[in-house]
Every structure is written in structure tokens, then in C-alpha cells.
Amino acid sequence: MINVGKVVLLLCIICVPMTAYSEKSEDRPEPRVVEVSQSVLLVPLKEGVTPQDAVDAMVNKATELNVKLVSHLKISKELQSRGVKSRHLEVVQLCTPEDAATAIELNLAFAGYVPCRIALVEDDQGIVWATMQNLDFQIDGKIMAPASVELAIRINQQMLVILTAGVNGEL
């Protein structure tokens, strides 16, 4: 029997990152998953989208989805204020309190994943990437109970929508 939730997740995983950067350019890198146990999704900001544009778009999309902005850490600005040279690095932390409570009821270990984070980080080529945890390895790894999988799929979908809005600078 086909698990509709997993099919929807697979489509989101395949389609959302690609639509997040749908305008191809030969000199811009493609979205990728890094080697750290395939646990991180990296998507470059669309050409012309500034980190501030991305943050504004992510916060707007999160609000639209009833996801709360918990924190906005401007790490590179803090480092610069301390006299430390740094590439761009900032972290937007988001949470739906009801989802956090549900996750922790399902398994206390999920507290380590709360709140959800999207980081904007500049690479050594000056390209700013939006990065977030890729929940697929946990969802597909059969290490979660079915109720946890359903919650993880929903949260992952929301975060992918928020990340996509950010990389495109969609207000």
C-alpha cells in the first residue's frame, strides 16, 4: 500500500528545492545536500536576493503559515562588532509551539530539534546559501514512530516552503 504522506514528502523534497532556484544559471551552483550524513539541505539565494530580502521573505512566509519567529541571530554582525572578520552568517529560528509540544510528547529527544532553524551563510565564493536540517534521513530511516513521521513531514514541508520564499526573496 502506498503511503501518501511519504509520496507527498518525496515530491516536496524533489520539487521545492528545485523551484526554490528554478532560474538556471551556468555560473550559479545547484542546490545540494552536504556529506554530513546527508543531514543538511543547502540552497543558494537567487541572484539579486540579499540576505535581508531572504530574511524578510522567510519571516513573512512563516507568519502566513502561523509559524512563530523565535529568534534572529545576526552572528556575523556580532563578530564584526568584536573586531572579528567573518563571512555573512545569520540564523532565523522558527517554531510552532503546538508542534514543539507534540514532538516532545512523542519523544523527549525531539527537544534537540526545537526550534527549527534556517541559516544564511556565505561561502568562500561570496554566494549566500540558505541551509536547514534535512529531516529526510530520519523520516526515511525508519527510526521514527508513525506519529512522529507525520509530524516531521508536516514540519519539514513548512520549513521547505519558508526556505523557498527566502531564497527567492518572495514577499
What is the average pLDDT across 99-111?
89
Domain residue extents for the chain = 4-168
Partners of 32 in the β-ladder: 42
pLDDT at 78 over 70: yes
Q: Topology of domain 4-168, per CATH?
A: TATA-Binding Protein (3.30.310)
Total residues found in the chain within this entry: 171
More confident residue, 84 or 36: 84
pTM of the model: 0.77
List, as one string, the DSSP characters of 46-97. Answer: PTT--HHHHHHHHHHHHHHTT-EEEEEE-HHHHHHHTT-----EEEEEEE-H
Residues 55-76, mean pLDDT to the nearest whole number: 96
User: pLDDT (tens digit, 9 = 90+) per residue, 3-37?
Assistant: 434 444 444 444 454 444 445 556 667 665 555 54
Q: Are 99 and 113 in contact (CB under 8 A)?
A: no
Q: Which residue matches cell numbers 503511503?
A: 3
